Chain A
Amino acid sequence: MTDRPDGSDQAADHDVPIPYRERISTYYQTLGYGAPYRWAHFAEVPFTPLKKPLAQSRLGLVTTAAPYQPDKGDQGPGAPYNGAAKFYRVYSGDTAADHDLRISHIGYDRVHTTATDSNSWFPLPLLREVAKAGRIGELAPRFHGAPTNRSQRVTLEQDCPELLARLVEDRVDAALLVAV
């Protein structure tokens, strides 16, 4: 694995976080798509401190996973990319109930993972346990699904305000966002 001149037990050169922007850009250019995608990029980053301890806070959950739709083709586990399973409006679900959320509409790693355990991308059952144990004050009554749109304008002008409105309505003190 390691081949260091000094013979030390260091990590392999490619054992770094995958440079996705570079990989994806090169990938699509090689596939014949014109200008590379311009990812959102900000110099300023906002920060809001927690107002009270987590054990007294109501936590909201946001996911990019999609509800399973039987009429929309193969959604896995292990399904190829399925554009038909995408959604373009914020949706919400009851956190007290179990949900069948899938990720076939997302470019996850289909070579090295199989999408057979939704707990690896949608930690709702675990959050219910964590709330019961008192680690967080409580889980908000709803979780919210965020559409993964190529257009940053649509995300910022349509979806973000909708997510905020729903989380405010749920009176959350903080939010956990899980990016598949």
Chain B
Amino acid sequence: MCHQTVSLAARYLEENGIPTVIMGCAKDIVEYVGVPRFLFSDFPLGNPAGRPHDRESQAFTLELALRVLETAPGPRTTVQNPLIWNASPDWKLDYSNVAVLSPEEIARRRAEFDREKEKARAIRDKSAAE
């Protein structure tokens, strides 16, 4: 949900006069919502601001985002960070990909997901009641 949240927020801020730029790793979600400016890094989710423990990558990524903010000619401007995660693109095959999971693993994840969802619901209900 976080790429959607940030995309909705960027749209809302722009509608109210604040220019924005998004840094993120889920290209399809951000572009599907439709946002003004987006720096896309083709990294595993969790690394929108550069590779971990790689200062140079983080500085490069931030600078690129600032340039997107400065120079985007119009809405739906996406720039792709030229940095790659590692030499092999095979990490892209794993995320939430049922094609690579066994039936036992799917059953285990279903039970785990139910438990976490219940916990989150309890907090949300408490928050809504405040």
Per-position binary interface string of chain A over residues 48-67, scored 1 when its CB falls under 8 Å from any chain B CB and 0 otherwise: 11110110000010101000
- Say which residue of B4, B26, B58 sits within 8 Å of A40 (CB atoms): B4
How close is B26's CB to chain A, nearest CB, in angstroms?
A: 5
Known contacts A19-B28, A180-B46; A136 and B66 CB within 8 A of each other? yes
Per-position binary interface string of chain B over residues 66-98, scored 1 when its CB falls under 8 Å from any chain A CB and 0 otherwise: 100110101110000000010011111111111
Which chain B residues lie closer than 8 Å to A127 at the CB level? 62
Count of CB-CB pairs between chains A and B under 8 Å? 279
- Which of B5, B34, B51, B117 counts the most A-chain CB atoms under 10 A from its CB? B5
* A interface residues, tally (CB under 8 Å): 92
Instruction: Jot down 24 A-B pairs with beta carbons below 8 A, ordered by A.
Output: A17-B27, A18-B28, A27-B98, A31-B106, A31-B110, A31-B113, A51-B19, A62-B6, A106-B2, A107-B96, A109-B94, A111-B95, A112-B85, A113-B47, A119-B55, A130-B63, A160-B13, A163-B13, A172-B18, A178-B6, A178-B23, A178-B48, A179-B23, A179-B26
Point out residues on B near A: beta carbons under 8 Å.
1-30, 32-36, 40, 42-53, 55, 58-59, 62-63, 65-66, 69-70, 72, 74-76, 85, 88-98, 106, 109-110, 112-113, 116-120, 123-124, 127-128
